[in-house]
Amino acid sequence: MRIHFFLLASLFLGMSTLSYAQVLEPIAETPLEADAKNIFTNTATGIPVLQTPRFYMGMSPKDGTILWQVERNIGASLSEMADSDGENKDFDEIPNTPLVFAGGNLLNVISGKIIINGTENDLRRLRTFYVLPDQDLILMEIAGKGAIYLYGVDPFENVQKWGVQLREASGLSMTISEDNPGLSSEDLKPQLNAAGDLIYDNGKYLALIDMKSGELKWNEKINAGYIFTNQAGNRMVIAEARGGLGGMMAAVPGSGSSSGQKFGKKLHLIDTETGQSVWKKEKKLDGNVLYVTPYDGGFLVVHDEGMNIYTFDDAKGDGRWKKDYSEKGVVNVEQEAEGLMIYFKSKRMLVDPVSGDDKWKKAEKLEKESKGFLWGLASNYEPEVRQIGKHKVTFNSGSITIGEGYRAPSYPFTWIVEEEDRIVVVIPEPTEGTRIGKPRFIATAIELGGEEVETNREYFGLKKGLAAFDKVDGGYFFYNDRGYVLMNYNPQDGFSDNKDEWYPDPTATLRTLTAIATAAGGMAYAGAQSANMVTSAATTGDVGGSVNRYNNRMGAANAASDASFGFATDRKVNGRIDEEYAFFFARDGQEGATLFKVDKNTGEEVNKYRFDDLTPLYEIDYLNGRLYYQANKTFKIFLIE
């Protein structure tokens, strides 16, 4: 099994000048009323979607015919033009589905059917979404003009089940809350209460929504930073978000204290049916909340200055102990038969859970620092331990440790080749001062098949730096958007140079790579986003099983839809063509602008595609074996195989 730790979010732009590369002609050309601004390829179906100044247009990947077109929301277009960062926020896809948010509407890219019509509420931006697999529902939070809305969509029936306005919001507040989602979105995912209604955090509010009708039952102003619901689903503990600079720093891994993420000092216990406080008022603790966990029918709260135990029904909010267990620097709490084991940075103390008193006279010193709370941030990272070859390998944050003695930096450019008992790591060459010439890198192959750890190392240079590298036949292919270094490798002789090519950009300004994605990168991105957003929306249950069932149903639905519209026959769902080829764009001598297809195993150019301009708009869909190109009001399709 191979794990590619670095996923390139951009695709090669490529070229070469060798005469034997075959020039391929387009298999289809479609005239357009206006030039497209972007080409988006839906990762679930492979359907290309063109964005023109006025429309979104779905194109057939087989013959380039226009399947549908939808007029863009004027407000969404203006919102896109106002973005200073250049990022296109007028188009988003829901990973692993044929659903896209385009021009203020949610639609199906296969049929062009509009599922959410954005005209009524002047919808402009998809802020976030959550997949609820057990409920066959996708929640979509969308910003409109002056308000935030939440929609429930059935992705299998392709219908909007309900929609509700969450709150009014200015343009500034929408932008801030979108680009800064808060302390920990993982802790604020939607949940269900005991009656099956949806508890939804939105900005500085917490809402309860009827899952069947979309009725907003309550919407209380609570700036939640962390939410914990009891198993019965009728009580919810909320630690307020930490405000100011401290809150911003706590949200960045590695920036806070060693004791993990901090929230505010205020703690709420609410009735999930009514949204009202169970306690007479919120409880203000002596320190910022660090940790909340169920304990003995209630819950344990740890803060900067100590901790205490609470029940779910106490109307006063008094802790079990009259005074908090007052010790600073608690980094972990574990339940043991004799009591609660309280861990500090380099010591621990056993505490009586009934009285809150120390059971030992003196804290026990520890040889190693405590691992910290399980759900904390950087200091609480749990390293992955794997057996590769004859050695135990620990993947820490920033390093790789093999056994007890060997340690190597773990840079983003890392390949694990388990079938060959090897790890390959590439890091920039350390420098002092300013380097003249192309950047240099160090490739290290760590051989783990023998009793001793053996390494092979080689230096190489690559202009503009390294974007990623791939394992190919007999070696490794190191690359960026303009060139590559191909090196042979075997454990006995190590690395040896094979080929080094650089393809100069044909324009004075380098083309932006923002909107270009490989099939592997795009699919992996979609999978990661889907996994990140999926939640069972339940306090208990088989989350993994729910997700698998949902994904299997969605895959079957996508395949059936593709087949019914007649463009699924070419789809390559097996294999990774992108492991074989790279693409570079530049001038081809007197022939002009050309995209070249390069065999990554040999460095040879095998095909070339003539383009009509020096700043081309194109996308490559490996799964369909298509290259989509648009220029001079014409949409062209090339085969890439």
Contact between 444 and 473 under an 8 Å Cβ cutoff? The reply is: no
Contact between 234 and 272 under an 8 Å Cβ cutoff? The reply is: yes
Q: Residue 382's pLDDT band (boundaries 50, 70, 90)?
A: low
| Six-digit token string for 412 | 């983003």
Burial of 599 per CB tally in 10 Å (0-12, 13-18, 19+): middle
The answer on pLDDT for 321 being more than 90 is yes
**What pLDDT was estimated at residue 480?**
81
227: β partners? 238
**What pLDDT was estimated at residue 562?**
61
**What pLDDT was estimated at residue 372?**
64
**582-621 pLDDT, tens digit each:** 888 888 888 888 888 889 999 999 999 999 888 888 888 8
Please tell me the distance from the alpha carbon of residue 333 to that of residue 348, in angstroms, as a whole number. Answer: 9
Of 94, 72, 50, the residue nearest 59 (C-alpha): 50
Contact between 156 and 559 under an 8 Å Cβ cutoff? The reply is: no
Q: Name residue, tokens 């093999």.
A: 402
- What is the tally of helices (H) and strands (E) in the chain? 5, 48
Q: How far apart are the first and last CA of the chain?
A: 26
The Cα-based distances of 361 to 351, 358, 364, 582 in angstroms read: 11, 7, 10, 67
**204-228 pLDDT, tens digit each:** 899 999 999 999 999 988 888 888 8
**171-181 pLDDT, tens digit each:** 545 544 444 43
Please tell me the distance from the alpha carbon of residue 388 to that of residue 383, in angstroms, as a whole number. Answer: 15
Q: Name residue, tokens 């709490």.
A: 333
Contact between 490 and 33 under an 8 Å Cβ cutoff? The reply is: no
**What pLDDT was estimated at residue 403?**
81
The answer on pLDDT for 275 being more than 80 is yes
Please tell me the distance from the alpha carbon of residue 577 to that of residue 641, in angstroms, as a whole number. Answer: 9
339: phi > 0 → left, psi -120 to 50 → alpha, else beta; which?
left
The CATH code of the domain at 215-250+257-376 is 2.40.128.630
**What pLDDT was estimated at residue 9?**
29
* Higher pLDDT among residues 632 and 203, named by residue: 632
For 175-192, give one letter per residue: b (16+ CB within 10 A) or e: bebbeeebbbeebbbbbb
Residue 169, CA atoms < 13 Å, CB-side half-sphere: 25
User: Could you count the other beta carbons within 10 Å of the beta carbon of residue 155?
Assistant: 22
**What pLDDT was estimated at residue 77?**
58
20: phi > 0 → left, psi -120 to 50 → alpha, else beta; which?
alpha
Q: 227-236, 240-249, 288-297: which has the minimum mean pLDDT?
A: 240-249
**What pLDDT was estimated at residue 188?**
77
Percentage of the chain modeled with pLDDT above 70:
73
For 58-78, the three-class secondary structure string (H helix, E strand, C coil) is EECCCCCCEEEEEECCHHHHH
| Six-digit token string for 167 | 């709150």
**What pLDDT was estimated at residue 399?**
73
Contact between 593 and 616 under an 8 Å Cβ cutoff? The reply is: yes
**What pLDDT was estimated at residue 444?**
92
Query: ∠ at Cα 460 (459, 461), nearest 5°?
Result: 140
Percentage of the chain modeled with pLDDT above 90:
35
- Dihedral sign, Cα of residue 156, residue 158, residue 164, residue 166: positive
For 389-417, give one letter per residue: b (16+ CB within 10 A) or e: bebebebeeeebbbeeeeebebbebbbbb
Please tell me the distance from the alpha carbon of residue 167 to that of residue 203, in angstroms, as a whole number. Answer: 9
Q: In degrees rounded to 5, what are phi and psi of residue 423? A: -120, 135
Contact between 264 and 243 under an 8 Å Cβ cutoff? The reply is: yes
Contact between 603 and 610 under an 8 Å Cβ cutoff? The reply is: no
**What pLDDT was estimated at residue 88?**
52
**400-433 pLDDT, tens digit each:** 888 876 777 666 678 888 889 999 989 888 765 5
The answer on pLDDT for 542 being more than 70 is no
Please tell me the distance from the alpha carbon of residue 369 to that of residue 345, in angstroms, as a whole number. Answer: 5
Domain boundaries, the chain: 215-250+257-376, 382-502
The pLDDT of 291-303, averaged and rounded, is 88
Please tell me the distance from the alpha carbon of residue 535 to that of residue 377, in angstroms, as a whole number. Answer: 20
**What pLDDT was estimated at residue 563?**
58
Q: Residue 495's pLDDT band (boundaries 50, 70, 90)?
A: very high
* Overall size of the chain counted in residues: 641
| Six-digit token string for 637 | 């399709």
Please tell me the distance from the alpha carbon of residue 631 to that of residue 626, in angstroms, as a whole number. Answer: 16
The Cα-based distances of 332 to 491, 530, 619 in angstroms read: 44, 31, 49
**What pLDDT was estimated at residue 629?**
94
Q: Residue 60's pLDDT band (boundaries 50, 70, 90)?
A: very high
The Cα-based distances of 437 to 257, 429, 464, 487 in angstroms read: 40, 13, 10, 20
For 206-221, give one letter per residue: b (16+ CB within 10 A) or e: bbbbebeebebbbbbe
Please tell me the distance from the alpha carbon of residue 618 to that of residue 627, in angstroms, as a whole number. Answer: 7
286: β partners? none
Q: Mention every residue, 6+ apart, whose C-beta is less than 8 A from residue 321.
A: 308, 309, 355, 356
The Cα-based distances of 352 to 298, 309, 333, 334, 360 in angstroms read: 16, 12, 12, 12, 10
Q: Residue 78's pLDDT band (boundaries 50, 70, 90)?
A: low
The pLDDT of 96-111, averaged and rounded, is 92
Q: Residue 389's pLDDT band (boundaries 50, 70, 90)?
A: very high
Q: 125-139, 317-331, 451-465, 527-541: which has the minimum mean pLDDT?
A: 527-541
The pLDDT of 447-455, averaged and rounded, is 92
Please tell me the distance from the alpha carbon of residue 275 to that of residue 238, in angstroms, as a whole number. Answer: 12
Please tell me the distance from the alpha carbon of residue 609 to that of residue 535, in angstroms, as a whole number. Answer: 44
407: β partners? 401
pTM for this entry = 0.70
**238-264 pLDDT, tens digit each:** 999 886 544 443 433 322 333 446 789
Q: Mention every residue, 6+ apart, whose C-beta is less than 8 A from residue 581.
A: 597, 598, 599, 600, 606, 640
Please tell me the distance from the alpha carbon of residue 163 to that of residue 451, in angstroms, as a whole number. Answer: 62
The answer on pLDDT for 339 being more than 60 is yes
* Higher pLDDT among residues 289 and 624, named by residue: 289
Q: Tell me the average pLDDT of the chain.
A: 77
Alpha helix positions (H), 84-222? 171-179
Please tell me the distance from the alpha carbon of residue 595 to that of residue 366, in angstroms, as a whole number. Answer: 61
